[in-house]
Structure 1
Amino acid sequence: MKFAQPWGRQRLSFLLEKAASREAQTWRGYVAKKQTSQDADVSPAQRDEAVRWLTELHGRLQLYPETLVLAVSILDRFLAPIKVRPKYLRCIAVACFFLAAKTCEEDECVPSLKELAASSNCGCSPSEILRMERLILDKLDWDLHTATALDFLHIFHATVTASHSGFLDSAGLNRSQHLCLLTRRLYTCLADHALMQLRGSVLALALVSLDLETCCPDWLALTIDLLRKAQMDSSALIRSRELVSRSLSTPRASLPPNTVYIYHPLQLAAPARRRPLGTMETSRDQPAPPQAGEESKAPPPSPKRLSHLHKAPLRCKASAKRKVEQMDVDDFYDGIKRLYNEDATSAVHEGAPPAGGGAYSGGSSPCPPLQPVGAS
C-alpha cells in the first residue's frame, strides 16, 4: 500500500479519527492509589514488574506486538477500579495475556491454556486462569476492543513516512525497522506507571516526535501537523515529551539473581603518611637531612627504612632533589621561630642581644622590637 497517494492519506485520516473516538469512550484517567499499612492492593512497582514479566513471556512465544499492548491495556483497565491482592497479580496478568492472544492472534498461533500456564510459570492451574478470565470479562462488560498506543503509533508513523520518507535513509533503516524500533521503546514506556496518566494517542505522538527530533530537520513542522490532525493540546504533548524522555533515559537493567561479586584487594604498600612527590618531610623531632658534605656523618638507615624505600622509591626530578639537598632546614625553622619570637629565651642564653635592643643585628629578629604604647 502506497500511502503517498491521496486515497491513502484519506484512509489514514479516517483511521486516526476512528481510533481517537474509540479512545475517548474507553480511556479513564489513572488515579494513583494511596498505600497504607493495612492496604493489600497492588502497588505501582508491582504493576510494572508484572508488565515486564508479560514482555518476557511475549518474547518467548513470539506473538504479535498488538497482543502485548492489548494485554497491558486490559490489565490496567481491570486494576483501575478494584483492589487486588498482590498474590493474584500473575494469574490476572496471564489471563489478560490469554484474552489478548485470542483477540489479536490467528487461531493456529494462539497457545493452549495448558501450554501458557506451563511456559509462563505463573504458579496457577489452567482452571484458575479460566475463572480469572471470566471475572475480567465480567468486570469489563465483555468489551476488550480499545484503541491502544500501538494503533496510534502505526497511524502516526505511516503519516510521517508518507510525506517525508527521506529521513529514514539518513538513519539507515527502512519503514519496518524504524517502526520496530519505536515499538521497542513503547514496550519500555508501558512498564512505567508514571506514564499511565497519558492517553495512548499522546504517548504515541511523543515517541514519534522525540525520534523525529534526532533524525529529521523538519521535525517541528511534522509534529505540529500531526498535532493538528489528532486535535490534541500542545501543552499536553510538551508534558508527555518530558515524561517519555525521562522514562526512556532511566536505566532499568537489573542484575540477574545469581550474580556473584568477586573482591580483588589492591596489593599496594601504602606509606604511613601521604605527602606530595618531590618533597621531604621534616620536623623538630626528626633530624634534618644531611648536607652535601655530611653524608659520612649520617647514621645508617634501619633495615625497616630500607625495605620501605625499596617498595616505594621516591621519584622526583633531579633539579628538585638538588634544591632539597641545598636547603638549610635549620635556618628555615630558626627564621620562623625568630619571626614569632618563640626562641627569645634561647637567644638570651646563647649571649645574643635582648629583643628590646633597638638596632637590628645579625642574631636578632629582622622585625623591629615591639615598644609599649606610652613609650616615646
Structure 2
Amino acid sequence: MKFSEPWGRQRLSFLLEKAASREAKMWKGYLPKRPSSQDTDVSPAQRDEAVRWLTELHGRLQLYPETLVLAVSVLDRFLAPIKARPKYLRCIAIACFFLAAKTCEEDECVPSLKELAESSGCGCSPSEILRMEKIILDKLNWDLHTATALDFLHIFHAMVLSCRSGFLDSMLGLNRSQHLALLTRRLYHCLSDHTLMQLRGSMLALALITLDLETCCPDWLALTIELLRKAQIDSSELIRSRELVSRSLSPSRASLPPNTVYIYRPPSPDRQDQAPPGPPTDSRLRLPASTKRKVEEMEVDDFYDGIKRLYNEDVTAAVPEGAPPAEAAAAGGGLGVPLPRQEGSSSPCPPLQPVGAS
C-alpha cells in the first residue's frame, strides 16, 4: 500500500489523532518509587531485568512485536500503583505476556499456558499464572487496549514514507519492512530502560524516528517539524526526549560502568620515534577511528573537551602520582576498577590507541 495518496495521508492523520486521544486518557506519568531496605517492592532495576527476560522469551516464541510491547505496557501499568514483592515479579510478567498474546496474536499462535510456563522457566504453575492474570485484569478494570509506543512508531514511519517514499532505498539500502524492524529493535532496548518510562509512547516513538532521520535524511529537520505539527507536540519536549533516548541507545554508555574516567597521557618525546604500542587490553578505552584521526591534530586541552562532548561526561581531575588509594578512588568517582599498567608509563591507564592499531 502506498501512502502518497491524499486518502492515505488523511487516514494516517486520523489514526494519529485517535492514538493520541487514547494515550492522553490512559497514560500516567512515571513516579520512581523510593528505595526500601525491605524486600517489599519491585525496584526499577528488577523491572528492567523482567522486561529483558520477556524480550528473550518473545524472540524464542517468534510472536508479533505488538505482543511484547503491550505486555510491557500492561506490566508497567500494573506495577505503578501497587507494591509487589520481587519474588512474584516473574509470575506477574508472564501473566502480562499471556494476556498480551491472547490480545494480539491469532488464536492458533497463542502458546498454551502449560507450554508457556514450561518454556519460560518462570517457576510458576499454570494455575498460579491464571490467578495472577485475574488480579491484573481486576486492577486494570479489564481494559488492556492502549496506544503503545509501537503504534505511534508505525504511524510516524508511514507518515515519513508518505513524504519521502524513496529515501530508504537511496540512503540506507533498506526496504520499508527492514527499516521498521530496525527501529522496532531499538524500541525493545528502550523498553528495558526504566529511565525512559517518564516518556509517553508518542514521545518515545518520535524521538526514535527523528534520531534515525538525522543520520540518513538531509532534510530531517523539515520532516521533524512536520511530524511535530501533526502530533501537536512541543519542540522542547522532543529535544529532551531525544537526549534521553540517545543516551540510552549510546553503545559507549551501554558498555561502560558508571563514572568511568578517561585519562589521556601524551607520548614522551623520547618515544615518538618508536612504533605505537598495541591496542589497549581494556576495550572500554577504545575510541572510534574517525575520532582518533581528529585527535592527532588537537591540542591537549581540546582533546579533553572532545572527550566530554563524545561521552557527555565531565573529565575528573588527574590523580597525583603516589597518591593514597583512597584519594585515587575519590578522584575516580569511586570506580575502584584496577587498570593495567604498561612498562615505562607512570599512568595506570595505557595511551589511547586507534581501534585498528595492531
Whether the TM-score (by the shorter chain) exceeds 0.5 is: yes
The residue aligned with 1:265 is none
The residue aligned with 1:167 is 167
Once residues 60 and 133 of structure 2 are traced to their aligned partners in structure 1, the CA distance between those partners, rounded to angstroms, is 22
The residue aligned with 1:224 is 225
Once residues 66 and 38 of structure 2 are traced to their aligned partners in structure 1, the CA distance between those partners, rounded to angstroms, is 37
- List 4+ stretches of structure 1 deviating above 4 A: 250-254
CA 1:253–1:113 in structure 2 vs 1: closer, same or farther (change >3 Å)? farther
Q: What is the identity, as a one-letter code, of the residue corresponding to 1:68?
A: L
Q: What is the identity, as a one-letter code, of the residue corresponding to 2:161?
A: T
Structure 2, unmatched stretches of 5+, are 257-269, 272-358
Q: What is the identity, as a one-letter code, of the residue corresponding to 2:143?
A: D
The residue aligned with 2:214 is 213
Q: Summarize deviations over 1:80-136 as a string: whole Å, max 9, x none.
A: 000000000000000000000000000000000000000000001000000000000
Q: What is the identity, as a one-letter code, of the residue corresponding to 1:70?
A: L
Q: Summarize deviations over 1:290-344 as a string: whole Å, max 9, x none.
A: xxxxxxxxxxxxxxxxxxxxxxxxxxxxxxxxxxxxxxxxxxxxxxxxxxxxxxx
Q: Which has the larger radius of gyration?
A: 1
The answer to whether residue 139 in structure 2 is matched with residue 139 in structure 1 is yes
The residue aligned with 1:25 is 25
Q: What is the identity, as a one-letter code, of the residue corresponding to 1:217?
A: P
Structure 1, unmatched stretches of 5+, are 255-275, 278-376
Once residues 125 and 53 of structure 2 are traced to their aligned partners in structure 1, the CA distance between those partners, rounded to angstroms, is 18
Q: How do 1:8-19 residues align onto structure 2 when only pairs under 5 Å count?
A: 8-19=8-19
The residue aligned with 1:239 is 240
Secondary structure of residue in 2 paired with 1:57:
helix
Once residues 26 and 15 of structure 2 are traced to their aligned partners in structure 1, the CA distance between those partners, rounded to angstroms, is 17
* Cα distance, 1:167 vs structure 2: 2.0
Secondary structure of residue in 1 paired with 2:233:
coil
Once residues 36 and 154 of structure 2 are traced to their aligned partners in structure 1, the CA distance between those partners, rounded to angstroms, is 40
The residue aligned with 1:196 is 197
Once residues 152 and 49 of structure 1 are traced to their aligned partners in structure 2, the CA distance between those partners, rounded to angstroms, is 25
Q: Supply the RMSD in Å over aligned alpha carbons.
A: 1.3
Q: What is the identity, as a one-letter code, of the residue corresponding to 1:224?
A: I
Asked which structure has the greater RCO (Cα within 8 Å, sep 6+), the reply is 2
Once residues 174 and 100 of structure 1 are traced to their aligned partners in structure 2, the CA distance between those partners, rounded to angstroms, is 28
Q: Summarize deviations over 1:24-48 as a string: whole Å, max 9, x none.
A: 0000000000112235210000000
* Cα distance, 1:230 vs structure 2: 0.3
Aligned residues, how many? 256
The residue aligned with 1:51 is 51
Secondary structure of residue in 2 paired with 1:150:
helix
Q: Summarize deviations over 1:154-201 as a string: whole Å, max 9, x none.
A: 000000011112321221000000000000000000000000000000
* Cα distance, 1:240 vs structure 2: 0.3
Once residues 162 and 3 of structure 1 are traced to their aligned partners in structure 2, the CA distance between those partners, rounded to angstroms, is 5
Q: What is the identity, as a one-letter code, of the residue corresponding to 2:43?
A: S
Q: Summarize deviations over 1:127-150 as a string: whole Å, max 9, x none.
A: 000000000000000000000000
Q: How do 1:247-266 residues align onto structure 2 when only pairs under 5 Å count?
A: 247-250=248-251, 252=254
* Cα distance, 1:14 vs structure 2: 0.3
Once residues 222 and 96 of structure 1 are traced to their aligned partners in structure 2, the CA distance between those partners, rounded to angstroms, is 36
Once residues 38 and 178 of structure 1 are traced to their aligned partners in structure 2, the CA distance between those partners, rounded to angstroms, is 45
Q: What is the identity, as a one-letter code, of the residue corresponding to 1:206?
A: A
* Cα distance, 1:203 vs structure 2: 0.3
Q: What is the identity, as a one-letter code, of the residue corresponding to 1:229?
A: K
Once residues 148 and 252 of structure 1 are traced to their aligned partners in structure 2, the CA distance between those partners, rounded to angstroms, is 25
The answer to whether residue 67 in structure 2 is matched with residue 75 in structure 1 is no
Once residues 38 and 111 of structure 2 are traced to their aligned partners in structure 1, the CA distance between those partners, rounded to angstroms, is 39
Secondary structure of residue in 2 paired with 1:144:
coil
Once residues 197 and 156 of structure 1 are traced to their aligned partners in structure 2, the CA distance between those partners, rounded to angstroms, is 20
Q: What is the identity, as a one-letter code, of the residue corresponding to 1:167?
A: F
Once residues 185 and 208 of structure 2 are traced to their aligned partners in structure 1, the CA distance between those partners, rounded to angstroms, is 11
Secondary structure of residue in 1 paired with 2:94:
helix
Once residues 201 and 38 of structure 2 are traced to their aligned partners in structure 1, the CA distance between those partners, rounded to angstroms, is 33
The residue aligned with 1:156 is 156
Q: Is this contact kept in 1: 2:39–2:86, CA < 8 A?
A: no
Once residues 91 and 255 of structure 2 are traced to their aligned partners in structure 1, the CA distance between those partners, rounded to angstroms, is 25
The residue aligned with 1:328 is none
CA 1:15–1:189 in structure 2 vs 1: closer, same or farther (change >3 Å)? same
The residue aligned with 1:34 is 34
Q: Is this contact kept in 1: 2:248–2:254, CA < 8 A?
A: no
Q: What is the identity, as a one-letter code, of the residue corresponding to 1:119?
A: S
Q: TM-score, normalised by structure 2?
A: 0.70
The residue aligned with 1:304 is none
Secondary structure of residue in 2 paired with 1:114:
helix
**38-47 vs 51-60, greater mean Cα deviation:** 38-47
CA 1:146–1:90 in structure 2 vs 1: closer, same or farther (change >3 Å)? same
* Cα distance, 1:4 vs structure 2: 0.5
**208-217 vs 158-167, greater mean Cα deviation:** 158-167
Q: What is the identity, as a one-letter code, of the residue corresponding to 1:153?
A: L
Q: What is the identity, as a one-letter code, of the residue corresponding to 1:234?
A: S
Q: What is the identity, as a one-letter code, of the residue corresponding to 2:183?
A: L
Once residues 39 and 181 of structure 1 are traced to their aligned partners in structure 2, the CA distance between those partners, rounded to angstroms, is 38
Q: Is this contact kept in 1: 2:50–2:90, CA < 8 A?
A: yes
